[in-house]
């Protein structure tokens, strides 16, 4: 009796397996047909990707986008983004969180009820994350923003022109006490008219606004505590006691001091002043201010604090 059960059941099992396999194979025929095109607008962390859904085989497209990896053939198991919209036709999207100075393999994808189809693999190489002076830019992601993780030190504009091309009797990009060690540790102090050109941040970066600083502050718990979370720890780049400093997000703020209207440098390791785009054209523009004896992120009027030149932290233009 047992043998008869086996001979009866086995064909049923085999038949069921065959039906599943055949069914899967039939559905595979309806996976979307997708093409990938050459990326463009490539910068340090970003590139514009392009794709095309050629055929959905009668099953509505549920999602489409691009995936990438640093080796092999990318799939949705790797890094990916989802483009807006659905359906057949061309689609494009800017990927804004790519690794800099990297060779990446990119494919377009689209998904319907039958599964996910991929286009051919394209190769894109993101730019070396460097400014116009050749300095490698250290960056840090904080919330939805990407900030420079050190003060700007560039001695030329994003188009390659030297800062001195502005002319005039004032050096547009100083470093504290003209000491090269301070240039390395704290970056440059820039005059407001240098900021006004709109060309001081490297390509793909921009001057932050008060809204940008507010978003940063909100992410860190508000102005009352954000200053401490942004400051480098210990007293290497700040005076004792460096109150509340944790540098918990890697921003690495340092007390770069200022250059005042009396043609003097002062407040090194005591205060860090950072230009904000919004008020630069005004007679006495505002700056963001970090102080060694406070964990508060402050705003200061340059006319009140006697400031002509301050530090810059650019933010990625995403």
Q: What is the 3-state secondary structure (H, E, C) of the chain?
A: CHHHHHHHHHHHHHHHHHHHHHHHHHHHCCCCEEEEEEEECCCCCCEEEEEEEEECCCCCCCEEEEEEECCCCCCCCCEEEECCCCCCEEEEEEECCCCCCCEEEEEEEEEECCEEEECCCEEEECCCCECCCCCECCEEEECCEEEECCCCCCCECCCCCEHHHHCCCCCCEECHHHCHHHHHHHCCEEEHHHHHCCCCCCCCEECCCHHHHHHHHHHCCCHHHHHHHHECCCCCCCCCCCCCCCCCCCCCECCCEEECCCCCEECCCCEEEEECHHHCCCCCCEEEEEECCCCCCEEEEHHHHCCCEEECCCEECC
Q: Is the pLDDT score of 70 beyond 90?
A: yes
Mean pLDDT is highest, among 8-12, 305-309, 310-314, for 310-314
Q: What is the pLDDT of residue 153?
A: 95
Q: 276 versus 304: which is more confidently predicted?
A: 276
Q: What is the pLDDT of residue 240?
A: 93
Mean pLDDT, rounded, of the chain: 88
Q: 281 versus 239: which is more confidently predicted?
A: 239
What's 33-125's CATH class? mainly beta
With cut-offs at 50, 70 and 90, classify the pLDDT of residue 25: low
pLDDT digits (tens, 9 = 90+) for 119-142: 999 999 998 778 888 888 888 889
**Dihedrals phi, psi of 217, to nearest 5 degrees:** -60, -45
Q: What is the pLDDT of residue 290?
A: 97
pLDDT digits (tens, 9 = 90+) for 206-232: 999 999 999 999 999 999 999 999 999
pLDDT digits (tens, 9 = 90+) for 97-117: 888 889 999 999 999 999 999
Domain ranges in the chain? 33-125, 139-316
6-20 mean pLDDT: 43
Mean pLDDT is highest, among 51-55, 82-86, 170-174, 305-309, for 51-55
Q: What is the pLDDT of residue 6?
A: 43
Q: What is the pLDDT of residue 127?
A: 82
Q: What is the pLDDT of residue 168?
A: 61
């Amino acid at each position: 009796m047992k043998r008869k059960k086996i001979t009866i059941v086995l064909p049923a099992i085999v038949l069921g397996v065959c039906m599943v396999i055949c069914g899967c194979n039939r559905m595979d025929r309806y996976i979307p047909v997708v093409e990938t095109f050459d990326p463009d607008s490539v910068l340090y962390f970003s590139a514009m990707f392009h794709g095309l859904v050629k055929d959905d085989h009668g099953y509505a497209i549920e999602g489409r986008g691009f995936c990438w990896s640093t080796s092999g053939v990318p799939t949705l198991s790797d890094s990916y983004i989802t483009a807006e919209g659905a359906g057949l036709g061309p689609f494009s999207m800017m990927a804004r969180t790519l690794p800099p100075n990297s060779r990446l393999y990119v494919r377009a994808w689209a998904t319907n009820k039958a599964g996910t189809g991929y286009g051919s693999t394209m190769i894109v190489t993101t730019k070396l994350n460097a400014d116009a002076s050749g300095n490698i830019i250290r960056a840090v992601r904080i919330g939805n923003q990407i900030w420079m993780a050190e003060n700007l030190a560039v001695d030329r504009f994003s188009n390659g022109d030297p800062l001195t091309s502005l002319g005039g009797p004032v050096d547009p990009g100083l470093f504290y006490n003209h000491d090269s060690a301070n240039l390395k540790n704290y970056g440059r102090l820039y005059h407001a008219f240098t900021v006004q050109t709109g060309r001081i941040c490297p390509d793909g970066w921009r001057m932050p606004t008060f809204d940008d600083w507010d978003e940063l502050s909100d992410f860190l718990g508000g102005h009352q505590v954000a200053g401490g979370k942004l400051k480098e720890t210990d007293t290497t780049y700040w005076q004792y006691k460096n109150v509340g400093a944790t540098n918990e997000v890697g921003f690495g703020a340092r007390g770069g001091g200022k250059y005042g209207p009396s043609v003097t440098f002062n407040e090194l390791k005591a205060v860090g002043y950072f230009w904000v785009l919004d008020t630069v054209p005004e007679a006495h523009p505002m700056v963001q201010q970090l102080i060694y004896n406070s964990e508060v992120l402050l705003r200061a009027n340059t006319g009140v604090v006697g400031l002509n030149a301050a530090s810059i932290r650019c933010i990625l233009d995403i």
